[in-house]
Amino acid sequence: MDESTLGGPSSEPVAAILGAWQRERPDVDAASIEVITPLWRISRAVIAGRQRTLAAYDLDQSGLDVLGTLRRSGEPYRLTATELSVRCGVTPGATTQRVARLEASGLVRRSREEPDRRTVHVELAAAGHTLLDEVFAQVMAADEAMLDGMSSRDRATLVRILGAWEQRL
């Protein structure tokens, strides 16, 4: 059984999983298995690929997320900690932990706004900028390799379907 269908990791064909559930629980509509199981498997492959790429740079996905968010923000590559939390979609506590790890590595800097010093800014350091530009190119190349063989038409269809689905969720 696949993790998304109440079991552990599997390479069992999706049709076989669906057929087994239809046999065992004909009272339950299990048709979503045909969509969710491949997505679950693909997400595991994407995550594993990203981890391999990032490990070469002693970076993880959460660190890449912070560095990338700062870089995409444009000059001066600086956001408040609150803005960073919102854009990364994580809690302020998670942002604090991520930023502390990156700051210890010299990839970002924190500063407080004067005069009350309550607002914390996070800025991409030169080392973080350089590292991110290299890592980003490698991550994009690895991601593109995973899409190799997909026609531009299929890719555009997938982008449209996934975008619409994400909006509904």
With a cut of 70, say whether residue 99 has pLDDT above it.
yes
Strand ranges (DSSP E) for 52-107?
78-80
- Return the residue matching tokens 């932990």: 97
With a cut of 50, say whether residue 33 has pLDDT above it.
yes
The pTM of the full predicted model, rounded to 2 decimals, is: 0.82
CATH 3.40.50.10490 is right for the domain spanning 60-169: no
Average pLDDT, whole number, for the chain? 92
Predicted confidence (pLDDT) per residue in 56-89, tens digit: 999 999 999 999 999 999 999 999 999 999 999 9
CB 74 within 8 A of CB 127: no
What span, in angstroms and rounded, lies between the C-alpha atoms of 130 and 103?
Answer: 15
Q: How confident is the model at residue 2 (pLDDT cuts 50, 70, 90)?
A: very low
With a cut of 90, say whether residue 11 has pLDDT above it.
no
Chain mean position to CA 20: 32
Question: What average pLDDT does the segment 83-98 reach?
Answer: 96
Show me where the domains of the chain are located: 1-55, 60-169
